[in-house]
Amino acid sequence: MERFFNDYGTTLAGGITNTQATLVVASGSNFPGSGNFRIRIENELLLVTAVSGTTWTVTRGVESSQAVAHLDGMAVNHIVTAGGLAQILAENGGTTTITWMGAWAVGTGYALNDAVSYNGSSYISLQNSNTGNEPDTSPTYWTLLAAASTPTDSSIVVTDNTSNNVSTSAHGFAPKLPNEATKYLDGTGVYSVPTSPQPYDLVASYVGTPTIGATVFILTFTRTVTFAANFSGSYGTVGTNPSSTVGYTVKKNGTTIGTISISPFGLFTFATTGGTSQSVAAGDRLTIIAPNPNDATLADIGITLAGTR
């Protein structure tokens, strides 16, 4: 006999293969105490044919769904299906016809076995001339077919509130720990304090050969950035090497804070004023100035200054 309870949910207490005919659930409370009833795990529909506590015997992939493997902790939901309703009709000799009427309307008169939806649940009328009786508060006129519910979702699980770890299955759904302004979810599924300071690369380029003393790059900063002594970690390339060593000047608000030298072999040498680190603040203007005199063969310059913020 096909059995229906309200749309309850639990989770798998252990993974199952695509051919396994028994499964164990975390809780069997509020589910039918015996078969037959239908459940859904992910996109697979299963018919539970026998119940022994939390161990259920199942028929896999019913109603044209596909039997697949499911991981431990996946949601298990009790549902009403077309196959279940068809089974009820068969068990009653096919004499009971349920007519789906759509959403319940206060002014519509419903007949015996008319079915409606109301606030996410579905109900069957128990008598004719059923008008103006709200399905969820009129048990004399309506009986519940399928209750609305929020499916059990085990995909996001906080496993350790003390260390602020979450399961790796969270997949970045919680980028920042609630009520915590400094910890973010990293790629391993662990909340951690971001590494400080953070990299900040300043990229400058000039196509062709700059004119004598030309300003080849201008940037106005929106945040504080620090460059290590002698612009450590910075790189540069050229399309055509100069015929002799040339030097570019790096300025902050018009004051020199460093130089960039390029050899005839295309090698870059970076230097900061006094060989010390240099910082810029929000609103500061940084420029890179071509040499005077300039080398007529040097062309297509690319520079990346490595900083932190």
* CATH classification at residue 135: 2.10.10.20
Q: What is the 3-state secondary structure (H, E, C) of 228-249?
A: CHHHCCCEEEEEECCCCCEEEE
Residue 215 lies inside a defined structural domain of this protein? yes
Residue 188 and residue 203 in one domain: no
Q: Exposed/middle/buried for 158, CB within 10 Å: 0-12, 13-18, 19+?
A: middle
Confidence at residue 8, expressed as pLDDT on a 0 to 100 scale: 74
Q: Are 306 and 234 in contact (CB under 8 A)?
A: yes
How do beta strands 44-52 and 55-59 pair? antiparallel
CA atoms of 79 and 189, how far apart (whole Å):
33
Q: Which residues contact 174 (CB under 8 A, 6 or more apart)?
A: 156, 166, 185
Contacts of 86 (CB under 8 A, 6+ apart): none
Residue 99: the pLDDT is: 85
pLDDT at 24: 96
Question: For residues 156 and 132, is the Cβ–Cβ distance under 8 A?
Answer: no
Nearest Cα neighbor of 304 from 211, 207, 208, 227 is 227
Q: Identify the pLDDT of residue 308.
A: 93
- On whether both 208 and 296 belong to a single domain, the answer is yes
Task: Look at residue 164 in the predicted model and tell me its pLDDT.
Answer: 45
The string of DSSP letters for 11-33 reads: EBSS-B-SS--EEEBS--TTS-S
Same domain, 136 and 216: no
Q: What is the pLDDT of residue 9?
A: 87
Question: How many C-beta atoms lie closer than 10 Å to residue 266's C-beta?
Answer: 14
Same domain, 181 and 229: no
Does 121 share its domain with 64?
no
Question: What pLDDT is recorded for position 169?
Answer: 42
- Predicted pLDDT at 144: 81
Tens-digit pLDDT profile for residues 180-203? 555 666 666 666 666 678 899 999
Let me know if residue 214 belongs to a domain.
yes
Task: Please say whether the dihedral angle defined by the alpha carbons of residues 192, 195, 196 and 197, taken in this order, is positive or negative.
Answer: negative
Indicate the burial class of 178 (C-beta count within 10 angstroms; 0-12, 13-18, 19 or more).
exposed
* Long-range residue pairs from 20-26, CB within 8 A, at least 24 positions apart, any chain: 20/60, 21/57, 21/58, 21/59, 21/60, 22/55, 22/56, 22/57, 22/58, 23/55, 23/56, 23/58, 24/54, 24/55, 24/56, 25/54, 25/56, 25/76, 26/54
User: Among 30, 52, 84, where does a domain finish?
Assistant: 84
Quick check: is 102 in a domain? yes
Claim to verify: residue 139 and residue 160 sit in the same structural domain: no
- Domain hosting residue 141, numbered range: 97-146
pLDDT for residue 155: 47
For residue 124, the cross-strand partners are 115, 143
Is 40 a domain residue?
Answer: yes
Q: Are residues 116 and 170 in the same domain?
A: no
CA gap 10, 6 in Å, rounded: 13
Say if residue 204 is in the same domain as residue 265.
Answer: yes
Q: Amino acid letter at 124?
A: I
Q: What is the pLDDT of residue 161?
A: 45
Residue 2 forms part of a structural domain: no
The tokens describing 205, both together, are: 């380029």
Residues of the chain with pLDDT under 70: 1-7, 89-96, 148-195
Residue 24 corresponds to which tokens in the numbers above?
């164990």
Residue 211 and residue 303 in one domain: yes
Residue 212 covered by a domain: yes
Does some domain include residue 223?
yes
Q: How many domains does the chain have?
A: 4
Asked if the structure places residue 71 within a domain, the reply is yes
Looking at the structure, tell me whether residues 299 and 227 fall in a common domain. Answer: yes
Find, among 29, 45, 49, 51, the residue nearest to 79 by Cα. 45
pLDDT at 186: 60
Q: Do the beta carbons of residue 151 and residue 75 sit within 8 Å?
A: yes
Task: Give the SS3 label for residue 60.
Answer: coil
How far apart, in whole angstroms, are the C-alpha atoms of residue 304 and residue 236?
Answer: 6
Return d(Cα 132, Cα 129) in angstroms, integer.
10
